[in-house]
Amino acid sequence: MNNAPKKKPFILAITGASGSIYGLRLLQYLLMQNQPVELVVSRAALRVMQEENNLLFGNALKLEMLEHLNLDDSVPLTVHSLTDYGASIASGSYKTIGMAVVPCSLGTLGAIANGLTENLIHRAAAVCLKEKRKLMIVLREMPFGHIQLKNMLALSEAGGIVSCASPGFYHQPKTISDQIDFVVGRILDQFDFDNALFKRWRQEEHVLPLLKV
């Protein structure tokens, strides 16, 4: 008999900013670790996936996404409709580890920062803030305007973690996948998920070659 405590689920939202690959890779990693995930994908995110990754998902979103991630349907994934306000993650009494919005569009940032709940992503984020659970948004924009900067400050002051998909270079990445895993690894760090997706600073001492200019 397995008496191990049941893992709390992790909420992942993928919205319509460029960089949906970050959210997909995070989803893949969590499910490979058998971490239960509650997933919400916006309509704009599906459009971005089509444009950036040549992915065209239909009505069977869960099965099609798992197939793309090379995972079977035994993994602990729950996919919620964007308009389902009766979903588990819409209630504070449903305990979760927290939530990450990867990537987070500027529209989603504005809605969360100003307390709007126009869809399940906004509502789940509002629940995390009011319940003092971790909420992390990962933006992928440049530059930021005055309004977006104010929204980031408001979200940070409310207890959210504001970050950008900014890959580092000190781990000497060789591929785009290395860059993606750096960002995903740093997201996982914020939620205390052990991972070895990237080489950490001073993990291995080495001499960097001089940059030619």
| pTM reported for the whole predicted model | 0.91
Question: Residue 5 — very low, low, confident or very high, per pLDDT cuts 50/70/90?
Answer: confident
Cα separation, 57 vs 7, in Å, equals: 29
Average pLDDT score, the chain:
92
Assess if residue 102 is contained within a domain: yes
Supply the range of the domain harboring residue 87: 10-190
Assess if residue 145 is contained within a domain: yes
Q: Which residues contact 42 (CB under 8 A, 6 or more apart)?
A: 13, 14, 15, 16, 82, 105, 108, 119, 121
- The domain tally of the chain equals 1
What CATH number does residue 184 fall under? 3.40.50.1950
15-37: pLDDT as tens digits: 999 999 999 999 999 999 999 99
Assess if residue 77 is contained within a domain: yes
Strand order in the sheet with 77-80: 77-80, 37-41, 10-14, 98-104, 134-139, 161-164
Contact 99, 12 (CB under 8 A): yes
120-171: pLDDT as tens digits: 999 999 999 999 999 999 999 999 999 999 999 999 999 999 999 999 898 8
